[in-house]
Amino acid sequence: MTRLAALAVAMAVTLGLCEPAEATLHWVNNASVKVIEPYQGASFVISFSVSDASCTNTTTPDKYFYVTVGVDGVDTDQAKSLLAIALYAKVQAVTVSYLYDDSTSNCNVSAILIN
């Protein structure tokens, strides 16, 4: 990273324009949607056939991943879109790739893509 880029990042964090990077985002590929359950409001919980060791959620037999409004940039419309994609993948039995962050045991999902 150049000095100018590092300075820009430091200023953005200092001014509160972005959060310092503490979480690691992980892509998981070729997973089937197993369970979809409502959570709070427009939020929901989802489990996949393939999970990642970095997710510390202890739900068994499958880890739960959360799509939570207000977390990781997910707003109500994005949560609805992610739910529609998850439901489509479940009904059509197609695999997906999903992006989650490991900063909490909720393993918050912010993207789901049909493979």
The reply to whether 35 falls in a domain is: yes
Report the chain's C-alpha Rg in angstroms: 16
The reply to whether 3 falls in a domain is: no
The reply to whether 73 falls in a domain is: yes
The answer to whether the beta carbons of residues 76 and 82 sit under 8 Å apart is no
Q: What is the CATH number of the domain that holds 96?
A: 2.40.50.110
Tens of pLDDT, residue by residue over 13-22, are 444 445 544 6
The reply to whether 88 falls in a domain is: yes
The reply to whether 10 falls in a domain is: no
Tokens of 92: 């059509």
Closest of 106, 35, 102 to residue 69, by C-alpha: 106
The reply to whether 18 falls in a domain is: no
Domain count along the chain: 1
Tens of pLDDT, residue by residue over 49-107, are 998 889 999 988 889 999 999 999 999 999 999 999 999 999 999 999 999 999 999 99
* CA 35, chain centre distance (Å): 15
pLDDT of 10 higher than 90: no
The reply to whether 31 falls in a domain is: yes
The reply to whether 19 falls in a domain is: no
Q: Where are the beta strands (DSSP E) in 1-115?
A: 25-31, 33-38, 44-48, 65-67, 96-101, 109-114
